[in-house]
């Protein structure tokens, strides 16, 4: 959405002979952080096991990312009034920028070193959790800061 909006705004600005910076100054907002939201469903009987994972490994990884400045916040929200087809939990991570390929590779290396685990081991552990937890989807949202 962000790229599409910027491209559309640029096209409109150019069609009126206005520079993009001048057009952007007229808009009543600016862009803020990114918010990644993962939707998680947990099978009956798997809740305690999943919460144990969140409180240990997931929190440890989020605190590490926060200490490195890769993320600014993280949250776990429980759906207290779940309807059919909705998630049980929403895992939210907030960050200011997307890493490029080199930065992402460096982060992966730092993370696997910190967790003392390989990507294959972490993928296997994720597969084990798939016995009782299911990732329903994820969204990448961009914060809009109103002026």
Directed axis angle between helix 119-129 and helix 101-115, to 10°?
80
CATH (domain of 43): 3.30.70.100
Distance CA 11, CA 23 (A): 11
Q: Which domain holds residue 102?
A: 30-146
How many Cα atoms sit within 13 Å of 60 on the Cβ side?
A: 9
Does 107 map to a domain?
yes
Number of domains in the chain: 1
Does 105 map to a domain?
yes
Does 22 map to a domain?
no
Q: What is the pLDDT of residues 30-49, one digit of tens each?
A: 999 999 999 999 999 999 99
Tell me the average pLDDT of the chain: 86
Q: What is the pLDDT of residues 9-19, one digit of tens each?
A: 444 344 444 44
Does 110 map to a domain?
yes
Q: Given a cut of 90, is residue 52 above it in pLDDT?
A: yes
Reported confidence tier of residue 128, pLDDT bands at 50, 70, 90: confident
Does 112 map to a domain?
yes
Q: Given a cut of 90, is residue 20 above it in pLDDT?
A: no
Percent of the chain residues past pLDDT 70, beyond the cut? 83
Strand partners, 94: 35, 73
């Amino acid at each position: 959405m962000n790229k599409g909006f910027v491209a559309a705004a640029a096209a409109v600005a150019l069609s009126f002979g206005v520079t993009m910076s001048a057009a952007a100054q007229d808009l009543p907002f600016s862009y803020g952080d990114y918010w990644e939201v993962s939707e998680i469903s947990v099978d009956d009987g798997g809740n305690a096991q999943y919460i144990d994972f969140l409180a240990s490994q997931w929190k440890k990884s989020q605190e590490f990312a926060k200490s490195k400045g890769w993320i600014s916040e993280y949250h776990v929200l429980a759906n207290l009034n779940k309807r059919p087809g909705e998630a049980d939990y929403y895992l939210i991570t907030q960050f200011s920028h997307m890493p490029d390929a080199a930065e992402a590779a460096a982060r992966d290396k730092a993370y696997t070193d910190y967790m003392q685990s390989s990507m294959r081991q972490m993928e296997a552990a994720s597969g084990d959790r798939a016995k009782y937890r299911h990732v329903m989807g994820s969204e990448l949202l961009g914060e809009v800061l109103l002026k």
